[in-house]
Structure 1
Amino acid sequence: MSELVSQHQRGISLQRINAMVLRYWYLLMSSWPRLLELVYWPALQIITWGFLQNYISQASGFFAKAGGTLIGAVILWDILFRGQLGFSISFLEEMWARNLGNLMMSPLKPIEFLLSLMIMSLIRLAIGVIPMTLLALFFFGFNFYAIGLPLIAFFCNLIFTSWSVGVFASGLVLRNGLGAESIVWTLMFAVMPLACIYYPVEVLPAWLQAVAWTLPPTYVFEGMRSLLIDHVFRADLMVWALVINAILFAASFATFLALLQSAKRNGSLLSSGE
């Protein structure tokens, strides 16, 4: 019996992951302001930027050629940003409730905790982005899903990046307490200028271009422009993005575990205040 228990503890428990996902799901469904916020900001963004594209296209033929590049960039950026935020918000819920110490003393493993946050990130992302894409279709005639199979590559690379940033930011908050909470809200915006969301890499200075190409989202947004403007899917860009994402994800997970051990040694799990 003890051997069976030991084997069970060594493996990843789907039941524990499911329990954590249900916890965050019930928390989300019990608060209509939380649900409203998930839909409100993406909807506001797509409407604002969509009308801006319409205005600019009246004076320039570029956006007619670009085929909704600006709207597509807004949606993909929201996937990147909301994916990270959906992960981090669920983590912060535990910090705000002073419950993280209890979870870490339970049979729940760090990998199971992180997996549950990733699943909840996808759920929160779907609630916000799907209405956003429908608004883009209704108001501006841009069918985001018409991108087809390349959309899978775009989405996977962006969500992997968002999780990497979310895991890293969560580790920093775990170690330093809620005084470092602002990192969760601002870290992704530090990536924004170099990810070349609304403009090609070529507009950056030469030395910044080298930095931009170290970021997986840069490959995704370049790939989107290539697809919508030149109608060419750059599979090579997606492969490079996936390779960099694998390195970033492994590094962020290792960093989280190191910061978790540091927090345990310093007792900050039970005193995670400001």
Structure 2
Amino acid sequence: MTTDRTIDRPRPSSFSPRRIGALVLRYVYILRGSWPRMIELAYWPLVQLVIWGFLSNFLREESTWVAQAAGVLVSAVLLWDVFFRGQIGFSVSFMEEMYSRNLANLFVTPLRPLEFVASLVSISLLRVSFGALPAVLLAIPMFDVSLFELGLPLFAFFANLMIMSWALGLFTISLLMRAGLGAESFAWFIIFLLAPVACVYYPVTTLPDWLQVVAWSMPMVYVFEGMRHVLFEGSFRVDLFLGACALNVVYFGLGTMTFLWSFRVARDKGQLLQIGE
């Protein structure tokens, strides 16, 4: 004779900074224990800085206009790398859990999905800070270009780029949760897919009229247009800043809802146990 029993599982407490901190500490240990990961963080920012920096030096000798624009090109490279590293740092931290088939182990604990997202955001910020800072500092003695000369607008640009990178990361890990590691290449090519219309190195007016509509739907375009306006005109465009903020709210909200939906479906179908395959 069997008796059905209802087991009352303890409900997790309210939003816990301790659980977020514990997960961030786990990712820090992963980084610290792998020297190739540590080198990779700073490798690409430095390579891009050197390539574009020397190209800027060459163009500076050929044109008076480019002499004014050379610092803009280097600044654009550095800010673009912030965006790129933010998205990759977010997505790769999630993929490391998939590689180790650890998602099921994480979510049998009281860890909540939004706490997991908060930990990915935190480690992404740490990875960007560690990876981009050497390139930013090296640009000062090598090319006489300092991002810090942007002043307070730099923090506005940085924040908007990071939020957009996290929104893209949320869409990426939602796809990975539904499709598995077969979709991991999406985490890499999505950035390069957006690069032509992100207007990193040229103004939006360079694009065809129909493509400009697409470009203005992305927050990073407002950031790079605002950066050029600060460097060329010496003024901060509040309208561009507010446009980037508004779009980031929309994209990050949609990304969060997409992730929560994908997580619920994966949990209900038992896919968290096989998601690493």
Would the TM-score normalized by the shorter structure come out above 0.5? Answer: yes
Secondary structure at 1:272 match in 2: coil
Describe how 1:251-270 pairs up with structure 2 within 5 A: 251-270=254-273
The question of 1:68 aligning with 2:68 is answered no
Q: Deviations over 1:25-61 (max 9, x none)?
A: 0110111111001011110110110000111111111
- Contact kept? 1:67, 1:228, Cα under 8 Å: no
What is residue 19 of structure 1 aligned with on the other side? 22
Q: 1:67 deviation in Å?
A: 5.5
Amino acid at match of 2:28: W
The question of 1:84 aligning with 2:90 is answered no
What is residue 141 of structure 1 aligned with on the other side? 144
Secondary structure at 2:196 match in 1: coil
Cα distance between partner residues in 1 of 2:216 and 2:40: 33
Indicate the percent of aligned positions where both proteins have the same amino acid. Answer: 49
Q: Which of residues 219, 224, 227 in structure 2 aligns to 1:224?
A: 227
- Contact kept? 1:42, 1:128, Cα under 8 Å: yes
Q: 1:165 deviation in Å?
A: 0.3
Cα distance between partner residues in 2 of 1:11 and 1:55: 57
Q: Let me know the Cα RMSD of the aligned residues.
A: 1.1
Q: What TM-score, normalized by structure 2, do the two folds share?
A: 0.94
Amino acid at match of 1:152: F
Gaps of 5+ in 1: none
The question of 1:186 aligning with 2:189 is answered yes
Query: Considering only CA atoms, is the larger Rg found in Structure 1 or Structure 2?
Result: 2
Amino acid at match of 1:100: L
Cα distance between partner residues in 2 of 1:196 and 1:15: 40
- Contact kept? 1:219, 1:237, Cα under 8 Å: yes
Q: Which of residues 37, 42, 46 in structure 2 aligns to 1:43?
A: 46
- Contact kept? 1:16, 1:112, Cα under 8 Å: yes
Q: 1:260 deviation in Å?
A: 0.9
What is residue 7 of structure 2 aligned with on the other side? none
Gaps of 5+ in 2: 1-9
- Contact kept? 2:61, 2:67, Cα under 8 Å: no
Q: What TM-score, normalized by structure 1, do the two folds share?
A: 0.95
Cα distance between partner residues in 2 of 1:27 and 1:203: 43
Q: Which of residues 217, 225, 248 in structure 2 aligns to 1:245?
A: 248
Number of aligned residues: 268
What is residue 52 of structure 1 aligned with on the other side? 55
- Contact kept? 1:223, 1:237, Cα under 8 Å: yes
Cα distance between partner residues in 1 of 2:268 and 2:111: 19
What is residue 195 of structure 1 aligned with on the other side? 198
Amino acid at match of 1:101: A
